[in-house]
Amino acid sequence: METRRAPRILVSGAGVAGPVLAYWLTRHGFSVTVVEHAPALRRSGGHAVDLFRPAVEISEKMGVLPRIEERATGTNRMTVHPEGSRRPVRADLAKVFGAASDRHVEIMRDDLSAIYYDAARDDVEYVFGDSITAISPDGEVRFENAAPRRFDLVVGADGLHSNVRRLVFDDESRFRSFIGAYFGVVSLPNASGLDGELLLHVGVGRTAGMYGARHLGDARALFLFRSEHELDCHHHDVRRQKELLRGAFAGMHTDVDRWLDGLDRTPAFYFDSITQLRMDSWSLGRVTLVGDAGYCPGPAVGGSTSLAVVGAYVLAGELARARGDHERAFPAYERLMAEHVHGSRASALSAAKTLIPTSRLGVWGLAQGARLISALPAAPGRALVRLGTRSARLYNSVTVEDYPPPAAASGGPGGRAGDGRDGPMSG
Ligand SMILES: Cc1cc2nc3c(=O)[nH]c(=O)nc-3n(C[C@H](O)[C@H](O)[C@H](O)COP(=O)(O)OP(=O)(O)OC[C@H]3O[C@@H](n4cnc5c(N)ncnc54)[C@H](O)[C@@H]3O)c2cc1C
């Protein structure tokens, strides 16, 4: 009997969702190529991201949780300086996160990406320094550098400003929804020797913070500020972006002035609006999207990394369950993700409101809320967070289906010719 070949899947993007998807697809018997625009995997640290319970459990199934925990930032203390007040409030950050999700790990984004990449690098074809330029409905894919190739399915895992989304769906402007805030991240020398601590200055409409991770050579300063309207600023205009940050944080505190002074010398600077990606459906024909590319609830307000990990796991599982039939798998994937995606959007809006308060009462509430949760025993702390935030309800209530391990899946997606289960891609 002739064995039918395993469907070939092209994934664009080797950030977080891409490598997780590649791992699970290969475990389910698919043949996977990942094309990444960057010349190599970024190992410069990036920014800290959060894995909440469902994503922690998926990482555990992948066998990479010990490595993730080893590289965790270890940020477990927080000192909040409400603007205008002389008395900082100290809080146990581990308890605050613990109250929001019963399992949580914070890790630098580049460390996480490398760990997921290592998990399946020998089974996946990774192509760095290239990008898709066209995808035809029959599966022919063109690249900037490589010769055209044919794939059965294409998945865009190429982040908030996704190339695949632009090529197949439409321009980003059609799907983005500005949530009224901007943020910047700056790498700076860890002059004050921050270790496991987040220092936060919070005022009405603006929040600046700095954290240092144990194993990072430098620290990160994070700036979040409100703006009712989108600002006139091109996303490549770094000089203007730095000007906007200086303007928004002028006179806040001497710590913040010092961080702003570093703006001209920083080796790494990131600035963007906090934007949600809202698509009614993120699959079309043989193409689908995963992670920020399809449903970013807003960077820096938490949740999007976990959502990307869960999305990748569910997509791979549904493709395996449908034996590679994307016409069944893609709608099932979207259906299963819908509640989590909607919940994450709502939770990001509420996190943005808490993190960048709109009133003096909000500033006070952030500081005192954090202090109260740290002071309470775990159970009442969790109850308080559950009452006050959507994220706690979301992360602790999301359940992810278990997809049978490949060995137990009869025959894998390749199946056997003549078994009466013709896949859609056999022609
Ligand atoms: C500054 C900042 C702070 C953040 N803070 C948090 C936080 O506190 N908590 C949290 O949970 N999340 C946070 N996030 C969001 C988090 O980084 C993302 O949600 C997460 O990385 C999503 O993973 P992804 O794989 O979907 O996208 P990404 O990690 O963005 O990966 C996309 C990949 O696609 C590649 N790519 C782009 N274009 C192309 C192309 N044309 N061809 C091929 N490859 C391409 C990119 O190089 C990248 O490797 C933050 C994001 C930023 C930018």
Q: In what order do the strands lie in the sheet with 89-92?
A: 89-92, 77-82, 197-203, 206-212, 218-226, 176-189, 269-277
Q: Is the CB of 263 under 6 A from ligand 1?
A: no
Distance CA 321, CA 406 (A): 10
Closest CA to 269 of 244, 297, 252, 287: 244
pLDDT of residue 191: 82
Q: Whose CA is nearest to atom 2 of ligand 1?
A: 300
Q: Is the CB of 15 under 6 A from ligand 1?
A: yes
pLDDT of residue 425: 33
Q: Is the CB of 292 under 6 A from ligand 1?
A: yes
Q: Is the CB of 19 under 6 A from ligand 1?
A: no
* Residue 234 pLDDT level (bands cut at 50, 70, 90): confident
Element holding 238 (H helix, E strand): helix 238-249
Are 34 and 43 in contact by the 8 Å Cβ rule? The answer is: no
For the cut 60, the answer to whether the pLDDT of residue 61 exceeds it is: yes
pLDDT of residue 418: 32
pLDDT of residue 85: 86
pLDDT of residue 284: 97
Closest CA to 400 of 292, 307, 326: 307
For the cut 50, the answer to whether the pLDDT of residue 422 exceeds it is: no
- 408: which residues sit within 8 A by CB, 6+ positions away? none
Q: Is the CB of 47 under 6 A from ligand 1?
A: yes
| 224 vs 191, more confident | 224
Distance CA 94, CA 109 (A): 19
Q: Is the CB of 159 under 6 A from ligand 1?
A: yes
| 198 vs 9, more confident | 9
For the cut 60, the answer to whether the pLDDT of residue 28 exceeds it is: yes
**How is residue 344 written in tokens?**
């994450």
Q: Give residue limits of the domains in the chain.
A: 8-175+276-408
* Residue 42 pLDDT level (bands cut at 50, 70, 90): confident
Q: How far is CA 303 from CA 296, 306, 394, 413, in A?
A: 9, 5, 10, 31
Are 395 and 52 in contact by the 8 Å Cβ rule? The answer is: yes
Q: Is the CB of 50 under 6 A from ligand 1?
A: yes
Are 51 and 66 in contact by the 8 Å Cβ rule? The answer is: no
Q: Is the CB of 38 under 6 A from ligand 1?
A: yes
Distance 42 CA to ligand 1 centre (A): 11
Are 162 and 245 in contact by the 8 Å Cβ rule? The answer is: no
pLDDT of residue 143: 98
Distance CA 390, CA 397 (A): 11
pLDDT of residue 375: 65
Distance 172 CA to ligand 1 centre (A): 15
Distance 233 CA to ligand 1 centre (A): 21
Element holding 407 (H helix, E strand): none
Q: Is the CB of 7 under 6 A from ligand 1?
A: no
Helix ranges (H only) for 71-168 are 93-100, 109-120, 163-168
pLDDT of residue 365: 86
What is the pLDDT of the chain when averaged over all its residues? 87
Element holding 271 (H helix, E strand): strand 269-277
The region, left, alpha or beta by phi > 0 then psi within -120 to 50, assigned to residue 303 is left
Closest CA to 28 of 397, 361, 414: 414
Domain 8-175+276-408: top CATH class: alpha beta
Distance CA 415, CA 3 (A): 7
pLDDT in tens, 322-381: 999 999 999 999 999 999 999 999 888 888 888 899 999 999 888 887 777 666 655 555
pLDDT in tens, 90-148: 888 777 777 667 788 999 999 999 999 999 999 999 999 999 999 999 999 999 999 99
pLDDT of residue 276: 94
For the cut 80, the answer to whether the pLDDT of residue 57 exceeds it is: yes
For the cut 60, the answer to whether the pLDDT of residue 186 exceeds it is: yes
| 376 vs 19, more confident | 19
Q: Is the CB of 317 under 6 A from ligand 1?
A: no
Q: Whose CA is nearest to atom 51 of ligand 1?
A: 299
Distance 2 CA to ligand 1 centre (A): 41
Element holding 285 (H helix, E strand): none
Average pLDDT rounded to a whole number, residues 64-92: 90
- 64: which residues sit within 8 A by CB, 6+ positions away? 115, 116, 118, 119
- 159: which residues sit within 8 A by CB, 6+ positions away? 13, 15, 291, 292, 293, 296
Distance CA 290, CA 282 (A): 8
Distance CA 211, CA 77 (A): 10
